Amino acid sequence: MALKIARRGQIPPFIVMDVLRAANERAAAGEDVLHLEIGQPCTGAPQGVIAAAKRALDGDLLGYTDAFGILPLRQRLAGHYRDQYGVAADPARIVATPGSSGGFILAFLAAFEPGDRVALAAPGYPAYRNILIALDIEPVEIPAGPETGYQPTPELLEKAREQGRIDGLIVASPANPTGTMLTPDALRDLAVYCHDEGIRLISDEIYHGIEYEQQATTALTYSDSAVVVNSFSKYFSMTGWRLGWLVLPEDLLRPVECLGQNLFINASTLAQHAACGAFDCREELDLNVERYRLNRDILLDALPKAGLTELSRADGAFYVYADVARHTNDSAEFCRRLLAETGVAITPGMDFDPLRGNRFVRLSFAGSTESVEDAAARIARFMR
């Protein structure tokens, strides 16, 4: 007799990982690949992180920590909010998590019941939608376009509420896949609207620090009820260390603590000790951001010349979201052909917007400048 497979595990794939697998298979066959599909810095952790990790390996048992993480890390994070944003964040409200992914799971479980409806902009990071589905929480995708910077607004939320209640809203600024950012006023308006309407705001701030025209604003500036999610993966260049954090409102502290104790026990102890050194490495990390800026400018100059003229603003993060509708109505096939014919790996928009993503692709410029220049030239030849 066939055994049952749980419905919650039958969620859509994270397509970018499928693209990465195809690119790696091409590389394993001896063909060259330029990786513009994956949102991962090409640099490793900064030297201060490596040094802190070595000290921990030499001098610490690396046993369990409190579910919320080691106090020195939470204190450094509180200092980060004070220094970067002028915001007081009590270390008691900060939680070290197994990556931002673990943070989202904890936040969603603590804040929402099965059957609750959580709004998010489309296009948006696909794992939001898929984690919600796996937890029996209904994602309510709000189609957003360039007129709002692909970001939600109170007006779009009002329109979504005509179809049913909204219990939560996920915002990301800078956003994946577009790189667009909310202005401080726009974030304030969303935060105030959500607080007044009893909607739990989840603010994804994992690309903070990677900005080009204006500094990102934290939701903590405007809301005591919002949940902030962040990670050491992007600006701090620590993807494989799998360490993130939450800043929680008071009412979610004990629920998240109990969930964390039972689901994860604690985030990686070694990664926590290592991350304490990350905040002393800003000069090194800001050089990475300058490289991203140069890479962004290369693509924003080259892609329109190649015929891809409708591009997201790319205010921050390391992505450009490009409309390819003038050339194809099948972005997945477009990406397959581009990889097969040029070795350039990019991601089809279906990952980020199931309804309109067939018209879009995402390009990541987190790699080396040489690889981005080479990729731009190959794309230009492909488009002729």
Domain assignment of residue 177, yes or no: yes
Task: Give strand pairing partners of 117.
Answer: 138
Task: Give strand pairing partners of 322.
Answer: 311, 361
What's the pLDDT score for residue 60? 82
Residues 287 and 212 in one domain: no
Domain assignment of residue 122, yes or no: yes
What's the pLDDT score for residue 4? 84
Domain with residue 375: its CATH number is: 3.40.640.10
Residues 367 and 227 in one domain: no
Last residue of a domain, one of 238, 263, 280: 280
Residues 26 and 138 in one domain: no
Residues 40 and 52 in one domain: no
What's the pLDDT score for residue 12? 82
In degrees and rounded to multiples of 5, residue 316 shows phi and psi of -160, -170
What's the pLDDT score for residue 45? 97
Domain assignment of residue 85, given as a range: 47-280
Residues 107 and 256 in one domain: yes
Domain assignment of residue 2, yes or no: no
Residues 247 and 311 in one domain: no
Domain assignment of residue 194, yes or no: yes
What's the pLDDT score for residue 239? 96
Tens-place pLDDT, residues 219-276:
999 999 999 999 999 999 999 999 999 999 999 999 999 999 999 999 999 999 999 9
What's the rounded Cα separation, in Å, for the pair 294 and 50? 27
Q: Which ranges in the chain belong to alpha helices (H)?
A: 15-28, 47-59, 71-85, 99-111, 126-134, 154-161, 184-197, 253-263, 269-275, 282-305, 331-342, 369-383
Domain assignment of residue 217, yes or no: yes
What's the rounded Cα separation, in Å, for the pair 303 and 377? 9
Residues in the chain with pLDDT values less than 70: none
Q: Answer for the pair 251, 175: CB distance below 8 angstroms, yes or no.
A: no
What's the pLDDT score for residue 171? 98
3-state secondary structure 343-377: CEECEEHHHCCCCCHHHEEEEECCCCHHHHHHHHH
What's the rounded Cα separation, in Å, for the pair 117 and 194? 14
Residues 376 and 239 in one domain: no
Tens-place pLDDT, residues 2-41:
888 888 888 887 888 888 898 999 989 999 999 999 999 9
pTM for this model (two decimals): 0.95
**Whats the size of the chain, residue-wise?**
384
Residues 294 and 354 in one domain: yes
Residues 229 and 310 in one domain: no
Residues 276 and 302 in one domain: no
3-state secondary structure of 111: helix
Distance of CA 240 to the CA centre of its chain: 14
If one counts the domains in the chain, the total is 2
What's the rounded Cα separation, in Å, for the pair 272 and 268? 6
Domain assignment of residue 1, yes or no: no
Residues 38 and 167 in one domain: no
Residues 235 and 377 in one domain: no
